[in-house]
Amino acid sequence: MHRIVFATNNQGKMREVRQLFPPEIEVLSLSDIGCLEELPETGATLAENSLQKARYIFDKYGCPCFADDTGLEVDALGGRPGVYSARYAGSHAHPADNIAKLLYELKGEHHRKARFRTVITVVGLTNANQFQPSCDIFEGEVSGVIAESTSGEAGFGYDPVFIPTGENRTFSELTPEEKNRISHRGKAVRKLTGWLNDLISPGASAQQPG
Ligand code: ITT
């Protein structure tokens, strides 16, 4: 069995990611490795934060790991909240407060286009003989619009107000499988698992027909 740590304190992310991993790779949580701390997230970009979280765990616990940093970019707000999505309504803000602030800022606004972007960084898996641990990056994004009000119970974070393009339901009204099929995280994680599969059994994907 292969193991990799997912450096997140967000249980919603963990559920989605575990659903997409092949059975031969076990995804460990921070509590599985005895880490009960908050992860540092002081970068100016999603890529910086994603690397910072993964590096922190790799440096401290020595295990291969990956981290996900995600932002909601709203066109009418000039791309905000973006990298500050978790702290939009203040540090340690509850998701309901972030959503309330978002709907307030968009009140009366007709142009409601937005996108989720995810950057996943893996640290510690490839060039093991080199002094610097390697890092590899996988990205995914999904476009949509911000609804006028919340709908649905599933998911987490901003899901109750995000309607992906081609849908008339919010992410919170989709099943977990439906969300993973089209979401920013689903896209990034499928790139990651394809790359991991190649590390585990090199060439296997090239031998598959089609
Ligand atoms: P970790 O850093 O521990 O992984 P976090 O919740 O702080 O957890 P982010 O900084 O990446 O993670 O998340 C930024 C914000 O965007 C945060 O409020 C999340 O709830 C929200 N978010 C992330 N992914 C989302 C998704 O798929 N659907 C809705 N909201 C999401």
SS3 113: strand
What is the atom index within ligand 1 of the atom nearest the CA of 179?
A: 27
**Is the minimum distance from the CB of 173 to ligand 1 under 6 angstroms?**
no
Distance 95 CA to ligand 1 centre (A): 9
Q: What is the DSSP letter of 86?
A: G
* Residue 142 maps to a domain: yes
- Checking if the pLDDT of 129 tops 60, the result is no
User: What average pLDDT does this structure show over 99-103?
Assistant: 98
User: What average pLDDT does this structure show over 144-151?
Assistant: 98
Q: In terms of residue numbers, what domain contains 37?
A: 2-200
**Is the minimum distance from the CB of 158 to ligand 1 under 6 angstroms?**
yes
Q: Which residues does 173 contact at the CB level (< 8 Å), separation at least 6? A: 151, 152, 154
Q: What is the DSSP letter of 38?
A: P
* Residue 206 maps to a domain: no
Q: In the prediction, which pLDDT does 210 show?
A: 41
Distance 151 CA to ligand 1 centre (A): 18
Query: Tokens 């076990």 correspond to what residue?
Result: 26
* Residue 207 maps to a domain: no
Angle at 161 between CA 160 and CA 163, to 5 degrees: 105
Q: What are the C-alpha distances in Å from 123 to residues 18, 44, 82? A: 18, 19, 23
pLDDT over 90, % of the chain: 85
Q: Tell me: the pLDDT tens digits for 33-63? A: 999 999 999 999 999 999 999 999 999 999 9
Which pair of tokens denotes residue 61? 């616990």
Could you tell me if 17 and 186 are in contact, meaning their C-beta atoms sit under 8 angstroms apart?
Answer: no
Closest CA to 102 of 119, 120, 84: 84
Tell me the average pLDDT of the chain: 92
* Residue 208 maps to a domain: no
**Is the minimum distance from the CB of 73 to ligand 1 under 6 angstroms?**
no
**Is the minimum distance from the CB of 9 to ligand 1 under 6 angstroms?**
yes
- Checking if the pLDDT of 125 tops 90, the result is no
What is the atom index within ligand 1 of the atom nearest the CA of 98?
A: 18
- Checking if the pLDDT of 123 tops 90, the result is yes
User: What average pLDDT does this structure show over 195-207?
Assistant: 77
- CATH label of the domain that carries residue 88: 3.90.950.10
Q: How many domains, in total, are found in the chain? A: 1
- Give the residue, by CA position, lying nearest to ligand 1 atom 5: 10
* Residue 70 maps to a domain: yes
- Checking if the pLDDT of 199 tops 50, the result is yes
Q: Which residues are known to be catalytic? A: 69
Q: Using N-to-C axis directions, what is the helix angle for 11-20 and 184-200, rounded to 10°?
A: 50
Distance 10 CA to ligand 1 centre (A): 7
Distance 131 CA to ligand 1 centre (A): 32
The whole-angstrom separation of Cα 149 and Cα 140 is 25
